[in-house]
């Protein structure tokens, strides 16, 4: 039984169309995000001392009500540090990498409710600031440039002090034409402290809602997401446990409906292109047959 080439090609076109359109889901699933270039990390000391981070309470608010024009970020963190030996003055550091205008941002540091001065350092492969920091920054070295908030703090012998960081900043036009906005809060610098620790982390999001994402949690493997007034919050905590390693963050994509339309447009273009090629092949073969008959 002979099957004409035309019939085979027609069936192939129909199968291609059915496969590309009927099977397309109604909700466009975004691609996985690239590794985050923007982050804020936990506090750490710049030299080895018998210091224990007893507790941390961190809240990061993302106001995306004017997304994609901007995202307002409010970082408010309280750290309770216990000094097990003699009274000492040390430098505490908070590293971050955000696409913000530092001069138009608010940065405040407090020790036991008293505001204290700080200095900002920019770390990159082209300067020597990193060598002045008596610690290693694993996982961050490739994410230049990094800004360090460095503060000198006096810790009294056998007592605890509460260090607070209050940072308000804005990321304008956060969406790259191809890459989404992905910011992580990293706990890796917790490794610089001795002993166990307790802590709580909240990521509060308002306006356009992101996708919550976590990386490298070795000990902390679960976080809860609940609705709040005007948005959602992702929460995780640890109690007198090993210091967690990894991070949790937010991923903001563009309009998913636009992405869905792009997928349909691309598939239609491919299908139409294949159909045109097949039709041209059929026409050429018919013309060749006519030429043979005439000859």
Q: How far apart are CA 134 and CA 131, in angstroms?
A: 7
Tell me if residue 19 falls in helix, strand or coil.
Answer: helix
Q: DSSP H helical segments within the chain, as ranges?
A: 5-17, 256-294
User: What is the structure's pLDDT at 148?
Assistant: 86
**DSSP class of residue 135?**
S
Same domain, 12 and 147: no
Same domain, 120 and 47: yes
Reported pTM: 0.73
Higher pLDDT, 163 or 47: 163
Same domain, 83 and 143: yes
Same domain, 23 and 77: no
Higher pLDDT, 137 or 203: 203
pLDDT in tens, 241-272: 876 677 888 999 876 444 444 444 455 556 66
User: Is there a domain that residue 36 lies in?
Assistant: no
User: Is there a domain that residue 34 lies in?
Assistant: no
Same domain, 168 and 263: no
**Sign, CA torsion 259/262/99/91:** positive
Q: How far apart are CA 47 and CA 135, in angstroms?
A: 7
CATH number at residue 174: 2.60.40.3680
Summarize the confidence of residues 50-79 as an average pLDDT.
Answer: 94
Lowest mean pLDDT among 11-25, 108-122, 191-205, 281-295: 11-25
Higher pLDDT, 180 or 177: 180
Same domain, 63 and 102: yes
Q: How far apart are CA 59 and CA 191, in angstroms?
A: 20
Residue that terminates a domain, selected from 252, 268, 285: 252
Q: How far apart are CA 230 and CA 140, in angstroms?
A: 33
User: What is the structure's pLDDT at 257?
Assistant: 43
Q: How far apart are CA 210 and CA 194, in angstroms?
A: 34
User: What is the structure's pLDDT at 241?
Assistant: 80
Same domain, 157 and 270: no
Total domains, the chain: 2
Query: Using CB atoms within 10 A of its CB, is residue 187 exposed (0-12), middle (13-18) or buried (19+)?
Result: buried
pLDDT in tens, 124-153: 655 555 544 444 454 555 555 788 899 999
Look at residue 78 and tell me whether its pLDDT is greater than 90. yes
User: Is there a domain that residue 190 lies in?
Assistant: yes
**Sign, CA torsion 179/220/245/206:** positive
Residue 159 belongs to domain spanning:
41-252
Assigned token pair, 45: 């000391």
Query: Average model confidence (pLDDT) for the chain?
Result: 76
CA 74 to mean position of chain CA atoms: 16
Same domain, 190 and 268: no
């Amino acid at each position: 039984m002979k099957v004409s080439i035309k019939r085979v090609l027609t069936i192939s076109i129909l199968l291609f169309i059915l496969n590309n359109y009927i099977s397309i889901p109604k909700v466009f699933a975004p691609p996985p995000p690239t590794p985050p270039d923007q982050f804020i990390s936990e506090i750490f000391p710049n030299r080895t001392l018998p210091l224990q981070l007893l507790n941390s309470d961190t809240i990061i608010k993302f106001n995306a009500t004017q997304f994609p024009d901007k995202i307002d970020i409010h970082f408010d963190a309280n750290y309770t540090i216990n000094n097990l030996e003699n009274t000492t003055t040390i430098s505490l550091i908070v590293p971050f990498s955000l696409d913000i205008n530092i001069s138009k941002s608010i940065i405040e540091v407090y020790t036991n409710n008293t505001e204290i001065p700080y200095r900002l350092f920019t770390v990159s492969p082209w300067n020597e600031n990193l060598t002045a920091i008596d610690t290693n920054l694993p996982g961050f070295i490739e994410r230049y440039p990094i800004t360090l908030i460095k503060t000198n703090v006096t810790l009294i012998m056998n007592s605890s002090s509460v260090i607070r960081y209050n940072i308000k900043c804005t990321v304008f036009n956060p969406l790259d034409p191809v890459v989404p906005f992905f910011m992580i809060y990293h706990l890796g610098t917790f490794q610089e402290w001795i002993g166990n620790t307790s802590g709580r982390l909240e990521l509060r999001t308002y306006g356009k809602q992101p996708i919550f994402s976590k990386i490298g949690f070795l000990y902390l493997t679960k976080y809860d997401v609940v609705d709040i007034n005007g948005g959602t919050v992702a929460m995780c905590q640890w109690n007198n446990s090993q210091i967690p390693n990894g991070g949790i963050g937010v991923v903001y994509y563009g309009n998913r409906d636009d992405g869905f339309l792009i997928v349909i447009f691309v598939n239609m273009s491919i299908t139409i292109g294949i159909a045109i090629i097949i039709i041209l092949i059929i026409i050429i073969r018919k013309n060749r047959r006519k030429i043979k008959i005439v000859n």
